[in-house]
Structure 1
């Protein structure tokens, strides 16, 4: 299971925080490790503990935060710790180590303890914990009833239909008012006092605090960050350049864009590879044929598969226009497709399990006794937006942690209106990604209306001289952290960074197996060996995306025609 999955995260709940001994306060010397609660972390080789740190490192009078930490012991002779962040923002470090211990130990050579933590705003063990602004999913649904928050954006013809443009722009004042009201709800919630303390700068300082306790206040800090974890990484290496040990950043967010522009304005630049990855999906389906992909008929080429997906989107679009209470809208289908671009290992399941079910739902087909299951399936689709993290409360209230972190770190409010946001989305759907340019909702778009900014934000410079050289990795085609972002970060760091690319598609290089990439990670972490800048790794030839079809097969046959 690749460790980059940004689909909704199951937040860990321990039976009792009391089963752990609390750590020392800020300035203390150790973390008291104990067994993790077996009902949550069933790997008995893992240890758990807490560390208290200042909520505000520049104002200790504010009080303390408490970090829930997890550790996988080195399998060889220990050389220190490697800290890991799985992305999000909002990903659970506790869960990620539980799920991906073997992979993390493998790529780091087994000579380090793997240490992660639930950052502020994540789960219910770290304090501050998960950010909730609604009492329940029902409360959230009632608040947004009748809006695109629940249905997604309806558009066809690459958002060139005047009626689609008019319909979206008519919702602009409604959605702007809703998002402004959400911001005020969050400020009235039980999470409100913590909203300005859950940002990325705090996460960096928290990691340094943990490292000081585990490895010493002057020891180099080793770090592996993926996706949003690369933003923590790029801030870390520039906030604490003298502490940089061996650092791998995989699937890079552009720190300059993030520091200087509203996330909603730069999100389009993150989608530049999506349509090519979609073409990889339909190409793989065509190459394997009907036996390996239920969407294929005998003799179909990629454009024939595309025509079927487009027809499905159009059918859902027409049904939604005729009846607003359809089980699945075309907007929701676009969200589903976008999520699939992250992980090619899931494509056979999409093609053979999900696609036939979605066709039934959209066409209103299937036996009567299947209708309940299909509607439940459609509800799952609504809630599987990879950009929207769901909460862990029994009522499944949506988590606002991702938004609180992204928007708390964002530039100050600039008077951007929802009409500005919508016009940007229309342009993105026309010019950047026909498939996913109109994906909605996404936390990036809320920052123009989010009322709180973090107590500390790092805004650069991003070209500090580092104590050690770092490794920057990217797939050639990544749906959300594209290669140009990795190239920009590597260029900023100059001689202190080596860029390595993987000739594949998906989110982060771990979206597909590569002995070449794993070998480079391992050699760097264990020996400090770095490959030549610009090295390209191939995905393992024996990894079949579809039956009988590997990554190189697909890359060799992707059509040049626009989809």
Structure 2
């Protein structure tokens, strides 16, 4: 769930301007670069290729995986390669690099002296083998399987989950959803891709990256890496699994590897929402500053709390309509999930509140008994997601690649009940994120019933001494990878890491353009120049709402709870 909005962030950014390290080099493997598949990559200047690697590095007799790669050539005198992962888990590196203009951003950030190399990890896309993980043959089968459950409608609640009726309704779903998830785990295992599930995960991604680096730059060359969001977890595992191979590494939008390795996935997931309500307050503040001419949700004289009251009224209206008719076009649970996606990309706030939010208000106001939601309407979010991830498969059901990666890496779970996880959701809503604590469905809640774990999982330590110092970067207000996660990674690595912060909103520092941060990144990558620890970069003065910049929002951000 970290997950697929990185593609949207990139597009908006461009518009606005316990394991032991085993040998990972797969001998006799070469990469032949050539034209890219136009169904996945529309950027003609990129080169693409494939590399075969062992499915199991500890047991090569199992067979091979085949990785799809893409490359953007250095614009200056080449000094080597920078390996890039855009996040997810489940995002296609090949498709991301092929977004028009994005390769230029990466080349600028890395100083233009490295080839940018990315790949589709195992379980991602249609070009890598094993590719996309599907557990259903069609969207219709998926909808039939989960009919009548919160998997399709989301979780209904108001008032920070303080209404006993909402609590009882959620607990009533616990045995139903648990049974469905147990059945789903077996469906995934019995599907054609089920035989690959234990070979998918972050350790495999790390070893595959090392194999690619060995094939391109040689087995003794330092490995340079830039990872965003889930890509930061790949980076954290890489620098600790192969500390002697660390070159120039930048991690941005940080997943906490310590809590990931030690906590139940649902608990780790709840901690990721630590800053989400503050990002929401930023959106409300910008809307209030813009006024009704720049943000239709604002009335003349409204402050952030006034607009929040309108959002809460909207949630309650959707909630009450759903109690009467579970097939309304938009439930309060679905609205929260869709609204949360807007916390990722600040550059989209003005357009969203003027267009989408206004439509949502009209949709919820028009909900009434007897309304029905079509198969097509409910499938829209899956179609959009597949398009964002560069997926061209004919299977229109939801992908379970995120689940395969996240749950394959998760700690072993025995006896965790859905009721226990629901109690965590209630606690999360009451104490961590009032607005988004009920985010559902999310892969993390399936992990207790996922049928396999990866053949290799790295569970620490995360404080290795690295061959070179790395940069750990975070927005101050990140809705899904909060600043404390970056602070923990930097603390664990001590003198081997430098923490840099960007004084803005959104997921990763790409969410808002910052000349300061881009210069810091490029200086480090091209010249090895390390910034001072705890450097705080301001974002560029671009309008988030008409006449309203991030600096304006920060200056007026309310200190009271929303």
Instruction: Give your verdict on TM over 0.5.
Output: yes
SS at structure 1 position matched to 2:499: strand
8 Å contact from structure 1 (residues 225, 248) kept in 2: yes
8 Å contact from structure 2 (residues 382, 398) kept in 1: no
Between 86-95 and 292-301, the greater mean CA deviation after superposition: 292-301
Which residue of 274, 277, 280 maps to 1:278? 280
Q: Which residue of 2 aligns with 1:318?
A: 320
SS at structure 1 position matched to 2:355: helix
How big is the shift at 1:464?
A: 0.7
8 Å contact from structure 2 (residues 126, 393) kept in 1: no
Q: Which residue of 1 aligns with 2:290?
A: 288
How big is the shift at 1:473?
A: 0.1
- Aligned equivalents of 1:449, 1:365: Cα separation in 2: 35
SS at structure 2 position matched to 1:183: helix
The 5 A counterparts of 1:109-508 are 109-364=111-366, 380=380, 392-508=392-508
Q: Which residue of 1 aligns with 2:560?
A: 561
- Aligned equivalents of 2:42, 2:145: Cα separation in 1: 38
Give CA-to-partner distance per residue, 1:37-76, whole Å, 9 cap, x none.
Answer: 3344232210000000000000001000000000000000
Q: RMSD of the alignment, in Å?
A: 2.2
Give CA-to-partner distance per residue, 1:89-147, whole Å, 9 cap, x none.
Answer: 00100011111211111100110000000000001110000000001111111000000
Higher relative contact order, structure no. (Cα contacts within 8 Å, ≥ 6 residues apart) = 2
- Aligned equivalents of 2:322, 2:423: Cα separation in 1: 22
8 Å contact from structure 2 (residues 91, 124) kept in 1: yes
Give CA-to-partner distance per residue, 1:259-309, whole Å, 9 cap, x none.
Answer: 111211221111010111001001100101112112112221111111111
The 5 A counterparts of 1:65-76 are 65-76=65-76
- Aligned equivalents of 2:447, 2:130: Cα separation in 1: 21
- Aligned equivalents of 1:405, 1:140: Cα separation in 2: 20
- Aligned equivalents of 2:307, 2:44: Cα separation in 1: 47
Taking structure 2 as the reference length, the TM-score comes to 0.93
- Aligned equivalents of 2:226, 2:146: Cα separation in 1: 38
SS at structure 1 position matched to 2:446: helix
8 Å contact from structure 2 (residues 125, 390) kept in 1: no
- Aligned equivalents of 2:453, 2:471: Cα separation in 1: 31
Between 391-400 and 489-498, the greater mean CA deviation after superposition: 391-400
How big is the shift at 1:375?
A: 9.7
How big is the shift at 1:361?
A: 1.1
Q: Which residue of 2 aligns with 1:512?
A: 512
Would the alpha carbon gap of residues 334 and 381 (structure 1) be closer, same or farther in structure 2, given more than 3 Å must change?
A: farther
- Aligned equivalents of 2:57, 2:357: Cα separation in 1: 50
Would the alpha carbon gap of residues 58 and 8 (structure 1) be closer, same or farther in structure 2, given more than 3 Å must change?
A: farther
Q: Which residue of 2 aligns with 1:18?
A: none
- Aligned equivalents of 1:237, 1:316: Cα separation in 2: 46
Give CA-to-partner distance per residue, 1:408-465, whole Å, 9 cap, x none.
Answer: 0001123211000000000000111011000100011111111110000001111111
Q: Which residue of 1 aligns with 2:87?
A: 87
Would the alpha carbon gap of residues 123 and 379 (structure 1) be closer, same or farther in structure 2, given more than 3 Å must change?
A: closer
SS at structure 1 position matched to 2:160: helix
- Aligned equivalents of 1:496, 1:354: Cα separation in 2: 44
- Aligned equivalents of 1:27, 1:490: Cα separation in 2: 35
Q: Which residue of 1 aligns with 2:17?
A: none
- Aligned equivalents of 1:87, 1:280: Cα separation in 2: 24
Give CA-to-partner distance per residue, 1:211-261, whole Å, 9 cap, x none.
Answer: 001000000000000000011000000000000000000011111111111
- Aligned equivalents of 1:346, 1:140: Cα separation in 2: 31
Give CA-to-partner distance per residue, 1:352-401, whole Å, 9 cap, x none.
Answer: 110111111111189xxxx9999966764687789x98964334111100
Q: Which residue of 1 aligns with 2:49?
A: 49
SS at structure 2 position matched to 1:458: coil
Would the alpha carbon gap of residues 480 and 152 (structure 1) be closer, same or farther in structure 2, given more than 3 Å must change?
A: same
8 Å contact from structure 1 (residues 223, 248) kept in 2: yes
- Aligned equivalents of 1:243, 1:87: Cα separation in 2: 22
8 Å contact from structure 2 (residues 255, 481) kept in 1: yes
Would the alpha carbon gap of residues 373 and 78 (structure 1) be closer, same or farther in structure 2, given more than 3 Å must change?
A: farther
SS at structure 2 position matched to 1:440: coil
- Aligned equivalents of 1:61, 1:29: Cα separation in 2: 16
How big is the shift at 1:166?
A: 0.5
- Aligned equivalents of 1:173, 1:233: Cα separation in 2: 38
8 Å contact from structure 1 (residues 4, 507) kept in 2: no
